[in-house]
Structure 1
Amino acid sequence: MAWPGSWTDDEFESSQKELDKFLDEHLGPAPAIGDRLDAEYVMMPLWLPSAGLGAMNAQREREKLAKLRQLVNEFSKLWYSLHSDVRGEMELLGAAIEDANLPEHAMKLYLSRIHRLVGLIDEILPSARKVIDTAPRAGRRNLVNAGIARHLQAVWFERTGTHAPNSMTEAGCFAEFMIGAFNALRLPGNPRAALDSWRAFRATLPERE
């Protein structure tokens, strides 16, 4: 699996170990109780940049929903365009499939009710659209770096017991910590800009964390 930035699995694991070492050396080990935030937590935005912050590209998500609706409709039409003998054989074989992860006769039930898929999608699309309409906007922000800055603040608080500054201009030890963490991860970009981006993005959220 290729990680963001074209990292290999080995490179990802190496960066994780390096960051864990950095965190322990600069802030001490994670507490025995609590969330025990570590390098894996800090690095989550590398594979989940928007989801971790709740942000999304609204236009892109609407386009994907529209495409999904189109594909479901096409699938349903194609299924019922099959010769009845072909469709019947598929339903029969589907009913014989045993899968521990599915209820008994689930495949038979699914295959016999494909015609309901379009109606089901139409019922749930309004709720999906509402999620898109109310989600914070990603804009042009680098959500990977902003998310990592956010997580580094949380690690700082857990291991030092003091709230992390909201800006690197406030300084000293925290600024050094941020720069060191970004260097340990070999992240492109400016940690100061990442923290500023997270602060600006946080101000757009309906509820402050």
Structure 2
Amino acid sequence: MAGAGLDEQVALVVDTVRRRAPRARAGVRLVTVDGFSGSGKSRLADAVGLTLVAPVLSLEELYPGWDGLAAAVPLAVDWIARPLAQGRPARWWPWDWTRGARAGPRELAPAPVVLLEGCGAGAAALRPFTDTAVWVDAAPDVREQRLRARADWPGYAPFRARWAAQEDAWHATERTAEHADLVVRT
């Protein structure tokens, strides 16, 4: 969906989610929101979550540091997707970016809709648990401008090239955008 504003993008995602029956017998609809850094994943996921009164979980809590994009996906399967699909609470140990170690556990009870956003959310390993996969796209210069405008840019800037290389390699292999149910251009 190119050129639409946030309200129209949210309406499209919400309508798609509501039309689909839950894949899991437990009744949880897992919606994944994937894309490159700065594409608008968090903004879209948060707005959809507000509209659907659904929790939004971020893969940022699962990445084990600046080299952990690929390592977060199996954790998302084991800690979040599989338990929710089975009607059990999701339980994960968020990464403490300041300490560089896992923090104490967090838990989320099954809900009618749960959004999982972040680079890697549309991974092949998560697809069997995903009811709606959303790819968020933006031009590289727009993404970079957004990243530099974020409050956390000073802490992110030293790692930007390292993280971007992981994203490029990840999406070249996973081809996540090709498997999305919806593509939203921000």
Structures share fold, TM-score greater than 0.5: no
TM-score (normalizing by structure 1): 0.24
TM-score (normalizing by structure 2): 0.26
Q: Using CA pairs under 8 Å that are at least 6 residues apart, name the structure with larger relative contact order, 1 or 2.
A: 2
Higher normalized helix content (fraction of residues): 1
Higher normalized strand content (fraction of residues): 2
